[in-house]
Amino acid sequence: MTALTLSTAAAAGLRADAIVIGVAKGDRGPVVAPGAEAVDKAYDGRLAGVLETLGATGAEGEVTKLPAPSGFKAPVVVAVGLGAQPGKDAGFDAEALRRAAGVAARALNGSKKAAFALPLGDAADAGTIAEGVLLGAYSFDAYKEQGPQAQGAAKGSAKAPLAEAALLGGKPRDKAYKAAIDRAAAVAEELNRARDLVNTPPNDLNPEAFAAIAQAAAKEHGIKVQVLDEKALTKGGYGGILGVGAGSASGPRLVKLSYTSSKATKTLAFVGKGITYDSGGISLKPAGHNETMKCDMAGAAAVFAAVVAAARLGLDVNVTGWLALAENMPSGSATRPGDVLRMYSGKTVEVLNTDAEGRLVLADALWAASQDKPDAIIDVATLTGAMMLALGSRTYGIMANDDAFRAAVHEAAEEVGEPAWPMPLPEHLRKGMDSATADIANMGERMGGGLVAGLFLREFVGEGITWAHLDIAGPAFNEGGPFGYTPKGGTGTAVRTLVRVAELTAAGDLG
Under the criterion CB under 5 A, does residue 471 sit at the interface with Mn ion? no
Interacting stretch for Mn ion, rule CB under 5 A, among 139-147, 273-281, 430-438, 457-465?
273-281
Report in angstroms how near the CB of residue 326 gets to Zn ion at its nearest: 10
Spatial separation of the C-alpha atoms in residues 75 and 47, rounded to whole Å = 16
CA angle, 132 as apex, 7 and 29 as ends, to 5°? 90
Looking at 311, 356, 368, 412, which residue binds ligand BES (CB under 6 A)?
A: 356
C-alpha distances (whole Å) from 6 to each of 117, 127, 164, 170, 287 are 11, 11, 11, 5, 49
Is 295 in contact with 382 (CB distance < 8 Å)?
yes
Q: How far is the CB of 241 from Mn ion (least distance, A)?
A: 14
CB nearer Zn ion, residue 358 or residue 475: 358
Instruction: Find out whether 51 and 79 touch, Cβ atoms under 8 Å.
Output: yes
Q: Is 54 left (phi over 0), alpha (psi -120 to 50) or beta?
A: alpha
Per rule CB under 6 A, is residue 329 in the interface with ligand BES?
A: no
The one segment of 160-168, 261-269, 377-385, 478-486 that binds ligand BES by CB under 6 A = 377-385
Pick the binder of ligand BES from 355, 379, 418, 459 (CB under 6 A).
355
> Is 285 one of the catalytic residues?
yes
Kindly indicate which of the ranges 64-72, 208-216, 379-387, 424-432 contains the residues binding ligand BES, using the contact rule CB under 6 A: 379-387
Query: Per rule CB under 6 A, is residue 388 in the interface with ligand BES?
Result: yes
Instruction: Name the closest residue to Mn ion (Cβ).
Output: 355
Binder to Zn ion among 40, 278, 364, 471 (CB under 5 A)? 278
**CA-to-CA separations, 81 to 40, 51, 85, 215, 342, in angstroms, rounded:** 16, 11, 10, 42, 55
Residue in 30, 449, 484, 487 binding ligand BES, rule: CB under 6 A? 449
- Residue 29 or 421 having the CB closest to ligand BES: 421
- DSSP string for residues in 19-60: EEEEEEEETTEEEEPTT-HHHHHHTTT-HHHHHHHTT----T
- Judged by DSSP in three states, 342 sits in strand
Q: Which is nearer to ligand BES, 358 or 490 (CB)?
A: 358
Strands (E), 407-506: 420-422, 440-441, 466-471, 477-478, 489-490
Is 382 a residue that touches ligand BES (CB under 6 A)? yes
CB 222 within 8 A of CB 232: no
Within 304-343, which residues bind Zn ion (CB under 5 A)?
A: none
Site string for Zn ion, 257-276 (x = CB under 5 A): ------------------x-
Binding map of Zn ion across residues 344-373, x = CB under 5 A, - = no contact: --------------x---------------
Rounded to the nearest 5°, which phi and psi values hold at 188?
-65, -40
DSSP string, 377-406: EEEEE---HHHHHHH-SS-EEEEES-HHHH
> Which of 40, 52, 208, 278 contacts ligand BES by CB under 6 A?
278
Residue 83 bridge partners (DSSP): 24
Q: Minimum Å distance from CB 475 to ligand BES?
A: 10
DSSP, residue by residue, 247-260: T-SS--EEEEEEE-
Residue 203: CB minimum distance to Zn ion, A: 18
- For Zn ion, the nearest residue by Cβ is 278
Q: Is 312 a catalytic residue?
A: no
State residue 335 phi and psi, 5-degree precision. Answer: -65, 140
Q: Which residues, in sequence order, are bridge partners of residue 31?
A: 24
Which residue out of 25, 113, 359, 496 is catalytically annotated?
359
Contact 380, 302 (CB under 8 A): yes
The CA-atom distances, in angstroms, between 196 and each of 296, 305, 455, 474, 492 are 13, 11, 31, 18, 9
Contact positions with Mn ion (CB under 5 A) in 343-372: 355, 357
Stretch that binds ligand BES, among 47-55, 366-374, 385-393, 488-496 (CB under 6 A): 385-393
Q: Does 281 bind ligand BES (CB under 6 A)?
A: no
Per DSSP, what are the bridge partners of residue 259?
Answer: 319
Which helix (H) or strand (E) segment holds residue 140: the answer is none
- How far is residue 64's CA from residue 50's CA, in Å, rounded to a whole number? 11
Q: Which of 384, 395, 478, 491 binds ligand BES (CB under 6 A)?
A: 384
Catalytic residue among 285, 342, 394, 488: 285
Query: Which of ligand BES, Mn ion, Zn ion, none has residue 419 at its interface (CB below 5 to 8 Å by kind)?
Result: none
Measured distance CA(456)–CA(384) in Å, rounded? 12
Q: Output 176 or 389, the one with its CB closest to ligand BES.
A: 389
Q: Which member of 196, 278, 379, 503 binds Mn ion (CB under 5 A)? A: 278
Q: Is there binding between residue 459 and ligand BES (CB under 6 A)?
A: no
Give the one residue of 353, 394, 415, 422 binding ligand BES; rule: CB under 6 A. Answer: 353
- Cite the active site residues: 285, 359
Give the interface with ligand BES as residue ranges (CB under 6 A): 278, 296, 353, 355-358, 382-386, 388, 443, 449, 473
Give the interface with Mn ion as residue ranges (CB under 5 A): 278, 355, 357
